[in-house]
Amino acid sequence: MLSLGTLHHATFLHTLLMSPRPGPIARRADHGARAPGEVRIIGGSLKRSKLTVADHPGLRPTPDRVRETLFNWLGQDLTGLRCLDLFAGSGALGLEAASRGAARVDLVERDARLVKLLADACTRLNATQARVHAQDALQFADRCATESFDILFIDPPFAEAEAGLHERALVAAKRLLPAGGLVYLEAPDARILAACATDPAWQIRRQARAGSVHYALLQRQPDPNPTN
């Protein structure tokens, strides 16, 4: 049974489940070595607001086209949902969720310069439901209560993909989501997404590719051996 707590949440997930899968392959996007100087929020109450993107090694904001696809998958309206952006970077994913009505958005980032930019953006945009945490993503996840969130955004540094960071983040996500909860996962290699399909905890609802970036929407499956 889904435990998202409100009729809105149940309707939201039912709509997603009725959608066809997998999703189409997206058009190619330009993923240059350097981050752009800014990105824009593309929908919701903060539409067209600018977010500063620092020239920081490995920082790779999710492009507009990919975010548009993702939030089409999510149904646009996130009213009342609890969201966690585990590797926040520019905040493009988490603040896009806030713009679309999320009740709570936690943005986790360990780099001090990026943390300041995130905090400044939240203040400037009056995103009062967003909280910035200057912390390692997996350490933060370990301290969160079970089933604390409805949607997780997981877009780790691609340079750490071979070290298993995506897999460790998904392990943490299992505890943080109720059955029916959702994870957006972005990876540099289709094999990482394919590996997710072998874990019975997850079902890939949608997936696509933009240039060298592979991304998918995963849904948390009920535990076959519940402890209570």
Tens digits of per-residue pLDDT, 195-216?
A: 877 889 999 999 999 888 899 9
Q: Which residue has the higher pLDDT, 218 or 31?
A: 218
**For the whole model, what pTM was predicted?**
0.83
Q: Please indicate, yes or no, if residue 168 is contained in any of the structural domains.
A: yes
* Least confidently predicted of 28-42, 77-91, 99-113, 145-159: 28-42
Tokens coding 61: 């904001």
Q: Please indicate, yes or no, if residue 119 is contained in any of the structural domains.
A: yes
Q: Please indicate, yes or no, if residue 26 is contained in any of the structural domains.
A: yes
**111 pLDDT more than 80:** yes
Tens digits of per-residue pLDDT, 136-178?
A: 999 999 999 999 999 999 998 876 766 678 889 999 999 999 9
pLDDT at 18: 41
Q: Which residue has the higher pLDDT, 36 or 182?
A: 182
Q: Please indicate, yes or no, if residue 37 is contained in any of the structural domains.
A: yes
CB atoms under 10 Å from CB of 52, counted, come to 16
pLDDT at 28: 34
Q: Which residue has the higher pLDDT, 189 or 78?
A: 78
Which CATH number do you get for residue 162?
A: 3.40.50.150
Q: Please indicate, yes or no, if residue 2 is contained in any of the structural domains.
A: no
Query: What is the pLDDT of the chain when averaged over all its residues?
Result: 83
Tens digits of per-residue pLDDT, 145-156?
A: 999 999 999 998
Range of the domain at 133: 7-220
pLDDT at 197: 76
Q: Which residues pair with 186 in a beta bridge?
A: 215
Q: Please indicate, yes or no, if residue 225 is contained in any of the structural domains.
A: no
**12 pLDDT more than 80:** no
Tens digits of per-residue pLDDT, 33-65?
A: 444 588 999 999 999 999 988 877 667 788 888
Count of domains observed in the chain: 1
CB 220 within 8 A of CB 178: yes
